[in-house]
């Protein structure tokens, strides 16, 4: 049961913007028990996006969350690329067009924009791949999309963090299952990380858990994250580590 995340945007590839969206999405998926296996970032380019979407589908994740490139400008090409990757047409969704129209009319009434009319760029956002379920954007103009394709649940979200987060919470998470595993974060008191290695190795063999350790400088503390199928297995692992002299403090 694994998931992948794909973020799209030239600004991520030039390093002008740090991709905090993928961490947010990954964190929410992890919380719900998905093992995020890979995060990929490509630019606003139809061929690149198409290629990477096809590669991801070939790996058969249960869930693919895509974020970025849904806006009104020439470089927002994600929906077109996803449509092409899935072998579907890009078609006008009338209900989306109505919402986009209402959105710009509201901005106009509130004095944010000079012209509420549906120009080409604004209208473009109502075009989604054929057969998707449009996802509501409560914070912006561009709708998202959900489609199940060859067993993969694909969600396409905007790239603006506020819009992405709202859509993830209101539209994506309710369509996913319940939490499937537990994780807990600790600070382990130990002089240095390499002393921990043989003890962790033994714990991994004894229990059905995954453990991630990360150094917190060269001080006395090492960060540990333990993942388990259930609370009991996690608790047994914690007890074992403590029996080996590792002091754990919940972080």
Chain positions 232 to 251 lying near a second copy, rule: CB under 8 A, are none
Q: How far is the CB of 245 from a second copy (least distance, A)?
A: 14
Please state, in angstroms and rounded to a whole number, the distance separating the CA atoms of residues 81 and 129: 9
The SS3 of residue 154 is: strand
Residue 244 has phi, psi (to 5 degrees) of: -90, 10
Site track for a second copy across 77-106, x = CB under 8 A: ------------------------------
183 is a site residue for a second copy (CB under 8 A): yes
128's tokens:
């989604």
Query: Exactly one of 33, 44, 96, 128 binds a second copy (CB under 8 A); which one?
Result: 44
> Is residue 225 at the binding interface for a second copy, with CB under 8 A as the rule?
yes
26 binds a second copy, rule: CB under 8 A: yes
- Tell which one of 192, 230, 231, 242 touches a second copy (CB under 8 A): 192
Stretch that binds a second copy, among 42-50, 91-99, 229-237, 238-246 (CB under 8 A): 42-50
Residue 82: CB atoms within 10 Å: 28
Instruction: Tell me how far CA of residue 216 lies from CA of 62, 83, 152, 188, in angstroms.
Output: 34, 44, 38, 10
């Amino acid at each position: 049961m694994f998931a992948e995340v794909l973020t799209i945007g030239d600004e991520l590839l030039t390093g002008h913007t740090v991709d905090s969206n993928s961490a947010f999405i990954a964190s929410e998926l992890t919380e719900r028990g998905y093992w995020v296996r890979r995060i990929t970032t490509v630019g606003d380019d139809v061929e690149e996006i198409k290629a990477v979407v096809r590669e991801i589908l070939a790996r058969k994740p249960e869930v693919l969350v895509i974020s970025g490139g849904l806006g009104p400008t020439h470089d927002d090409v994600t929906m077109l690329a996803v449509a092409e990757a899935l072998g579907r047409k890009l078609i006008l969704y009338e209900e989306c067009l109505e919402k986009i129209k209402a959105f710009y009319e509201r901005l106009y009434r509130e004095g944010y924009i000079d012209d509420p009319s549906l120009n080409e760029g604004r209208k473009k956002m109502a075009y989604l791949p054929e057969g998707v379920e449009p996802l509501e954007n409560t914070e912006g103009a561009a709708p998202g999309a959900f489609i199940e394709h060859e067993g993969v649940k694909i969600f396409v979200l905007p790239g603006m963090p506020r819009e992405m987060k709202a859509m993830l919470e209101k539209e994506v998470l309710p369509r996913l299952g319940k939490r499937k595993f537990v994780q807990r974060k600790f600070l382990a008191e130990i002089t240095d990380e390499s002393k921990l290695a043989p003890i962790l190795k033994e714990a991994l063999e004894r229990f059905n858990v995954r453990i991630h350790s990360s150094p917190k400088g060269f001080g006395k503390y090492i960060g540990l994250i333990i993942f388990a199928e259930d609370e009991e297995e996690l608790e047994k692992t914690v007890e074992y580590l403590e029996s080996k002299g590792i002091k754990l403090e919940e972080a």
